[in-house]
Structure 1
Amino acid sequence: MRRTARILAANPLSLLGVLLVSLVIVGAVFAPVLAPFPDHRGAVVDFTNFNKPPSATHVMGTDVVGRDLFTRILYAYRISLLLAVVVLAIAVPIGVTLGLMAGYLGGWWEYAIMRLTDVFLSIPPLVLAISIMGVLAPTLVNGMIAVTAMWWPWYTRLVYNIARGEKVEGYVLAAEVIGASRIHVMFREILPNCIPAVLTKMTLDAGFVILIVSSLSFLGLGVQPPTPDLGSMVAEGARYLPDSWWLAVFPGLAILVAVFGFNLIGDGLRDVLGADR
């Protein structure tokens, strides 16, 4: 852990990523405390302050019904981070387990799992998510289902490639010789060697999940109003460009900060993984 911290600390961009992600997480967790107008996260109308540019009272301006934009961005971060955590918490175990089975067991397990994986990977991720959301109602739960359905194959492919190479290593053969079960070999011997690559991909994917979810909301297939969501805020603000520029610019910058921060951390972890090898 100390070696990893030293390598990350030597990379200024990784430190910037940690700072950006920390700001996003703090803003989301402490939104009720940091938000100047907490009630503006819902169906509130204040026509006396509608569509106002950034000011001392409203640092990011207000939307077309008078709600504080900064407040809504903080609460939108909550939705985005929740979706990222839930999607990865479901997709990663499924993908890792299937990848281990295909890579280690081989045979018809490998053929069945990898052909199914190839089918999902052959469809562009956003197109698959849009197709699923076009059938299901555009709710938060269905959004999680749509994004999860397109995310597990990437982890299956990653772990499959690692497991297929590791199963011929000496430590795996030694475990098999002493009578270790297949479950033990997969999850106690091979899986620990997959964790660094999986963690790196998870960090990178956290930003991509936020971007995909925002894209679905931008198209009207994600979280529905009045719940604040970064994608839907950008879509609404785009209709008032360039006069009311703040309506689209600040939510767009919020997406940029989150995605950029996670990508920088992922790049730093990739450097650590390369150094370990």
Structure 2
Amino acid sequence: MKKAFVILTRNPMSLAGLILVGTVIILAVFADFIAPFPEHRGAVVDFVNFNKPPNARNWFGTDLVGRDLFSRIIYAYRISLMLGVVVLAIAVPVGVSLGLMAGYMGRKTEFIVMRITDIFLSIPPLVLAMSVMGLLKPTLTNGMIAVTVMWWPWYTRLIYNITRSERQEGYVLAAEVLGASKLHIMFREILPNCVPSILTKMTLDFGFVILIASSLSFLGLGVQPPTPDLGSMVAEGARYLPDSWWLTVFPGLAILVVVFGFNLIGDALREILGVDE
């Protein structure tokens, strides 16, 4: 792990990704101390300063009710990162466990798990998330559920393919001869060889989870006002282009920064860990 970090810091592109992601994390964690107007994350109205372009007091300008856009973007980062952590914390264990079971146990287990996985994968991710949100009330929690439902099948498919190629390897056959249980073989023998692929995909997926969640909010199906969210901020500002351009440009750039940062780190990890495309 230490060697991988050293290599990451020596690669200009991955170093840029680490700086971008690190900056976003610091802003989100210490938002209460960094945001110029922390009270503007909620239902605050300041008509004296409404809809002002970027200036010395409000670096990113203000929205239609006078709230500081920079402060709201910082708090929106906190929401986005929390959503990404929760979604992957649920989707990865579920998808990995099912992939190991289907790949190693085979037969009926493989058929049932992979056919269900194929059904989920056959539906466009955003459409599937929108369908789930159509059945639920638009909230942050339900948004996490919607994105999680669409994310686990990708890990199931990935681990299933790796497990199928690993189950005939010598170390697996040796464990079977020694009488190791199926759970031991799956989680103690095969799973460690899947970790590089899992870590790489998680890093790449983190940015995409935030992007999908922002897309749901853009459509009005995610986090609801007055809670700051990057997608809903873009949607609100889009109605006032090009005059009030800052309402859309800065939240859009905020999404670009975090997604681009995680993609740079993920690409670098793929090269360092030797993960195939």
Same fold? TM cut 0.5? yes
Distance 1:17 1:9 in 2: 10
Query: For residue 139 of structure 1, what is the aligned residue in structure 2?
Result: 139
Paired residues of 2:197 and 2:275 also in contact (CA < 8 A)? no
Q: Give, in angstroms, the shift of residue 164 of structure 1.
A: 0.5
Counterpart AA for 2:237: G
- Equivalences for 1:185-200 in 2 at 5 Å? 185-200=185-200
Q: What is the distance in 2 between the residues matched to 1:8 and 1:129?
A: 34
Find the aligned partners of 1:46 and 1:188 in 2 and give their Cα distance.
Answer: 58
Q: Contact 2:13/2:264 (CA < 8 Å) preserved in 1?
A: yes
Matched, 1:214 2:211: no
> Structure 2 CA distance, aligned partners of 1:46 and 1:7?
48
Coordinate RMSD, CA, aligned: 1.0
Deviation at 1:274, TM superposition (A): 1.6
Amino acid at match of 2:88: L
Equivalences for 1:1-277 in 2 at 5 Å?
A: 1-274=1-274
Counterpart-to-counterpart distance in 2, 1:140 and 1:249: 23
Mark the runs of 5 or more structure 2 residues left unpaired by the alignment. none
Distance 1:204 1:251 in 2: 21
Distance 2:153 2:52 in 1: 45
Q: Output one character per residue of 1:204-255: Cα deviation in whole Å (capped at 9) or x when no partner.
A: 0000000000000000000000000000000001111111110000000000
- Seen in structure 2, the aligned counterparts of structure 1 residues 81 and 275 have a Cα distance that, compared at 3 Å, is closer
In the alignment, residue 69 of structure 1 is paired with which amino acid? Answer: L
- Offset at 1:6? 3.4
Unaligned ranges ≥5, structure 1: none
Distance in 1, matches of 2:9 and 2:226, equals 41
Runs of 4+ in 1 over 6 A off after TM superposition: none
Deviation at 1:5, TM superposition (A): 2.5
Paired with 2:252 and 2:242, the residues of 1 have a C-alpha distance of: 14
| Shift in Å, 1:201 | 0.2
- 1:270 maps to a residue whose letter is R
* Partner deviation per Cα, 1:57-96 (whole Å, 9 max, x = no partner): 1000000000000000000001100100000000000000
C-alpha distance 275-84 of structure 1, shift in aligned 2 (>3 A): closer
SS of residue matched to 1:171: helix
Tell me, what secondary structure is at the counterpart of 2:143? helix
The AA in structure 1 aligned to 2:38 is P
Instruction: For residue 7 of structure 1, report the CA deviation from its aligned partner.
Output: 2.6
Query: TM-score by structure 1 length?
Result: 0.98
Deviation per CA, 1:6-34, whole angstroms, max 9, x where unpaired? 33233210000000000110000000000
Aligned-partner Cα distance in 1 for 2:161–2:216: 31
Deviations 1:170-224 (A, max 9, x none): 0111111111000000000000000110010000000000000000000000000
Residues in 2 aligned to 1:206 and 1:53: alpha-carbon distance in whole angstroms: 32
Query: For 2:180 and 2:28, how far apart are their aligned partners in 1?
Result: 45
Q: Distance in 1 between matches of 2:44 and 2:275?
A: 52
Name the SS of the counterpart of 1:138 in structure 2.
coil
**Cα displacement string for residues 147-182 of structure 1 (whole angstroms, at most 9, x for unaligned residues):** 000000000000000001111000111111111000
- CA–CA distance in 2 between the matches of 1:9 and 1:39? 37
Secondary structure (helix, strand or coil) at the match of 1:228 reads: coil
Could you tell me how far 1:275 is from its partner in structure 2?
8.0
User: Cα gap change, 1:145/1:15 in structure 2, threshold over 3 Å: closer, same or farther?
Assistant: same
Q: In the aligned structure 2, how far is the partner of 1:70 from the partner of 1:152?
A: 34
